[in-house]
Amino acid sequence: MAKIPKKTLEDLEYFEVLRQCSGFAITPLGKEACLEILPITEEKQLLNDLKAVSEFRSSFENENRIPNHGFEPLVSVFSLLSIENSVLDISVFRVIATNTETTNTLLQFLSKFKTYYPTLFGFTEELYVDKEIKKTIDGVIDRFGEVRDNASDSLYLIRKQIQQLRSKISSSFNKALSQYQAADYLDDIRESVIDNRRVLAVKAMHRRKVKGAIMGSSKTGSIVFMEPETTNAQNRELQNLLFEEGEEIKKILSQLTDYFRPHLPYLKQQHKFLLALDVVYSKARYAQEIDAILPVIEEKKRSIQYKAAYHPLLLQSHRLENKVTHPQDVYLHPEKRIVVISGPNAGGKSITLKTVGLLQLMLQSGMLIPVHESSTACLFQQILTDIGDNQSIENHLSTYSYRLKNMKYFLRKCNANTLFLIDEFGTGSDPELGGALAEVILEDFYQREAFGIITTHYSNLKALANELPYMVNANMQFDNKTLEPIYKLMMGEAGSSFTFEVAQKNGLPFSLINRAKKKIERGKVRFDATIAKLQKERSQMMKTGESLKAKETKAAVESERMEEMNAKLKAKLVSYQELFDQNQRMIVLGNKINDIAERFFENNKKRPLIAELLRTIETENAKRKRKTASVAKKERETKKKLNEEVKKELVVVRKEKKKQKKQAIIPTKPKISLKVGDRVRMFDGRSVGSIDAIEKQKAVVNYGMFTTQVSLDLLEFVEAEKGKK
C-alpha cells in the first residue's frame, strides 16, 4: 500500500486542517486521535469511514440525534488489569460503570435506528448490551464513591462497631468536658480539634490535674491541648477498627478487580468504539462548520469533478475577516487528465492547485469536503506535490536544485494511480533551458498516464497542453479593463501573464515597457498578446451571450403574449362577423316581409299574403337547418382540434408552473375599485374603453365602434372619468 509523503501533507497545510478538526472532539483522547489521522488508500475502509461521517453529520439535522458519547480514558487501566493481583481504585470502577452505561445507550439507539445509520451500526458488531458490569459495580460502590456497608458481612460488622465506638467517644469526651469545665480547668474556648480528634483546651497551670494525653499547645504556651484518658483509649481502639475496615475494603476491591479481568477484551473493544465515535463526531462537526458533504465516489473510473469547491482553511480565515471566498470548478478525467493553469500572478492559480490537493487529502482521510452536492471524486494511491520556494538550507541546495531533486522523486513514483501538483513548474533556472526541461518531464508524466495540475508562465508548456489530446489548458480569469482577478478558473484556454499590462497599470513608464518589448523575441510578444486578446474576447463573448440569452427569454415571453392576444382577437372577429351576417339576414328578411305587406295593402288579398309568408318562413327554416348542421360539424371539428392543442399546451404550462414556483413572487399593484365612466383596458389587451354600466361583477365597456360585457377581474384601470379624480 502506497503512503502519502509527509512533504505533501506539509505543502498542502493538512496538519492545520487536523488541528481545526480536533477542536470539535469532546475527549482529550479524541483530540489526540484526530491529530494523528493520516490519509489512507485502502478503498473499502475509506468508503466506510466517509459514510460513517456523513451519517453522523446528517444526525445534526434530524430528530433522531445520536446520544452523547463522552467517556473517560482507560488505557492505563487496561495494562494494570492485565497484571495478576493488581487492585483497581474505586474511581476506576466508577468510570467503567459510566462508560458501560454510555455504550449501552448508544448500542440500543443505533440498533433502533440502524436503517438511518447503517454504517455507524456496523461499528457495534463486536459489542453487546452488558447490564451486569454496572449492576455489579453499583452493588459494591454507591453513587458517592463509597464502598457499601453490605459489600461483605465482615465490613458490615466492622462499620457497626466503628459507629458504636464513635458514639462512646463522643459521650466520654462530653463527660470530661463538663467535669473539667465545672472545675474551671479549661480556657474560654473549651475545646479544639487536632488531627481530626477532639481535645480539651486546658489552662497550662492545671495540666497536671487533668488525666489524659497531651496533643499540643498554643503559640503562647498558655493553653495545653489534651485528650481525656478514656477518650484516648477509645480512639486507639477506633484506629484499629479503621485499619480493619481499610483492609476489608482492599479485599473487596481485589475481588471486584478479579471479577473484571475476564471482561478486559470487552472493555478494550468498548473503549475503541467510544474513541472511534468521538473521531467520527469531530469530523462531522468540522464538516458542518465548513458546509462539507460526501461527493459521489467514482469506483470504476478515475475522475474528479469538483463543483463550487472551497479551500477549507481559506474559507475559515475569510469568515473571521468577513471576506468573500470564491469557489472553483475543477475537472480531471481520463480524456483531460493533466491541467496546465496559466495567467498573471495573484490571480488564484496556487490556491486552485492547493484546493484540489487539500480536498483530496481530506477525502482520503475520511473527511467530508466543501463542494457542491453534484461533485464526483476518486481515490489515488499517490499524491505528490512541489509547491513554493523549497530552498534546502540544511543540504545547501538552491531552489532549482531542490526542485530537480523532487522531479527525480516524481519520475520514480509517477504512474496511472498518481495525482501530482506542481506550482510554477520549471522556474528557478534559465527560462529557455528550464522550460525545455520542464516540457520533457511533463511529457514523461503524460506518457505514464498520471493525473495532475501544474501552474506555469512558460509558453512552451501552454503550447504542449494545446497539442496533446489528454492535456488541457486553463486560466484564471482577469477583468480585461481593471486587470483585477475574478478568481474563476476557465478550462480549455491558456492564460496570458499580462506582464506588460500589469506593469503599465502599476505606473511603470511606457517608454521602459516599449524598450522591454524590443529586448525579447517578437514572436513571444505576439503569442502572449494573442492569448491576452483571446481572453478578452472570451470574456466579452460570455457577457454578450448572457445578454442575448436574457433578450431571447424576454422575446419568447413577448411572442407568447402576442400569440395569445392574436387568438383572442381572431375569436372576437369571428364573433363580430357572425353578428354582422345575422343582422344582414334579418334586414333582407325584413325587406321581404315589408314588400309582402305593401302588396297586401294594395290588393287586400289574404290568401296570396299567407302563401307568400309561408314560403318565406320555409325558406328561412331550410337555410337555418343547413347552417346549423354546418356549424355543428364545424364546431365538432374545432372542438376536436382544440382538445389536441390543449393537451400539447398542458405539457408546456406544467413546465412553466414549475419554473414560476422557483422564481420570486412579483408583488401585485394595489387593486383599484372601478366606477362607471372610468377608462379601462383588458390585462392582455391594448384597446382602451369606458365603462357604461356595472352589474354583478361585470362591466359593459364601450370601445366606440362596439360594446362588450367583461368581468371586472379582467380589467385594468387606465384613468378616471374626465372631471373626476
The closest of 722, 725, 690 to 710, measured between CA atoms, is: 690
Give the integer Cα–Cα distance in Å for 642 and 615: 40
The 3-class SS string of 598-612 reads HHHHHHCCHHHHHHH
pLDDT digits (tens, 9 = 90+) for 99-125: 999 999 999 999 999 999 999 999 998
DSSP 539-593: HHHHHHHHHHHHHHHHHHHHHHHHHHHHHHHHHHHHHHHHHHHHHHHHHHHHHHH
Q: pLDDT: is 536 or 586 the higher one?
A: 586
Q: How many other CB atoms are found less than 10 A from the CB of residue 504?
A: 15
Q: How far is CA 297 from CA 19, 48, 302, in A?
A: 26, 12, 9
The closest of 278, 268, 276, 368 to 68, measured between CA atoms, is: 278
pLDDT digits (tens, 9 = 90+) for 616-644: 777 777 776 766 666 667 767 776 776 67
- Mean pLDDT along residues 604-611: 73
Residue 662 has pLDDT above 80, yes or no: no
Q: pLDDT: is 721 or 474 the higher one?
A: 474
Give the integer Cα–Cα distance in Å for 597 and 207: 162
Q: Are strands 451-455 and 418-422 parallel, antiparallel or unpaired?
A: parallel
Give the integer Cα–Cα distance in Å for 189 and 194: 14
- Mean pLDDT along residues 357-377: 94
Please give the pLDDT value at position 648: 72
Which residue has 474559507 as its cell numbers? Answer: 315
Q: pLDDT: is 31 or 652 the higher one?
A: 31
C-alpha grid cell, residue 229: 484518658
- Mean pLDDT along residues 500-526: 60
Under 8 Å between Cβ of 176 and 194: no
- Mean pLDDT along residues 26-30: 93
Please give the pLDDT value at position 392: 45
Q: pLDDT: is 156 or 490 the higher one?
A: 156
Please give the pLDDT value at position 579: 81
Under 8 Å between Cβ of 571 and 562: no
What are the φ/ψ torsions at residue 40 (nearest 5 degrees)?
-120, 160
Under 8 Å between Cβ of 177 and 190: yes
Give the integer Cα–Cα distance in Å for 422 and 409: 13
Please give the pLDDT value at position 452: 93
Please give the pLDDT value at position 664: 43
- Mean pLDDT along residues 422-438: 75
Please give the pLDDT value at position 523: 46
Give the integer Cα–Cα distance in Å for 210 and 345: 97
- Mean pLDDT along residues 680-694: 78
Please give the pLDDT value at position 1: 43
Under 8 Å between Cβ of 369 and 295: yes
Give the integer Cα–Cα distance in Å for 73 and 32: 12
Residue 354 has pLDDT above 50, yes or no: yes
Range name among 75-84, 289-298, 424-433, 492-501 with the lowest pLDDT average: 492-501
Residue 377 has pLDDT above 60, yes or no: yes
Query: Which neighbouring-strand residues pair with 259?
Result: none
**What DSSP character marks residue 423?**
S
Which residue has 462508560 as its cell numbers? Answer: 99
Q: pLDDT: is 162 or 626 the higher one?
A: 162
> Where does 75-196 show beta strands of DSSP type E?
186-194
- Mean pLDDT along residues 547-562: 82
- Give the 3-state secondary structure of residue 692: strand
DSSP H or E stretch at residue 694: strand 689-695
Range name among 54-68, 144-158, 343-357, 532-546 with the lowest pLDDT average: 532-546
Under 8 Å between Cβ of 304 and 330: yes
Give the integer Cα–Cα distance in Å for 134 and 573: 92
**What DSSP character marks residue 71?**
-
Under 8 Å between Cβ of 383 and 356: no
Residue 127 has pLDDT above 60, yes or no: yes
Give the integer Cα–Cα distance in Å for 591 and 692: 33
The closest of 259, 482, 206, 451 to 339, measured between CA atoms, is: 451
- Give the 3-state secondary structure of residue 49: helix
The mean pLDDT value of the chain amounts to 83
Confidence of residue 686 (pLDDT cuts 50, 70, 90): low
Residue 376 has pLDDT above 70, yes or no: yes
Q: Look up residue 109 and give its amino acid.
A: F
Highest mean pLDDT among 85-94, 140-149, 178-187, 359-368: 359-368
Under 8 Å between Cβ of 385 and 7: yes
Task: Read off the pTM.
Answer: 0.67
Helix, strand, coil percent content, the chain, rounded in steps of 5? 55, 15, 30
Q: pLDDT: is 425 or 1 the higher one?
A: 425
Please give the pLDDT value at position 129: 92
Q: How far is CA 524 from CA 331, 460, 520, in A?
A: 29, 10, 7
DSSP 174-200: HHHHHHHHHTT-EEEEEEEEETTEEEE
Confidence of residue 518 (pLDDT cuts 50, 70, 90): low
Please give the pLDDT value at position 450: 92
- Mean pLDDT along residues 584-603: 76
Angle at 328 between CA 324 and CA 331, to 5 degrees: 175
Range name among 163-177, 285-299, 587-601 with the lowest pLDDT average: 587-601
- Mean pLDDT along residues 55-81: 89
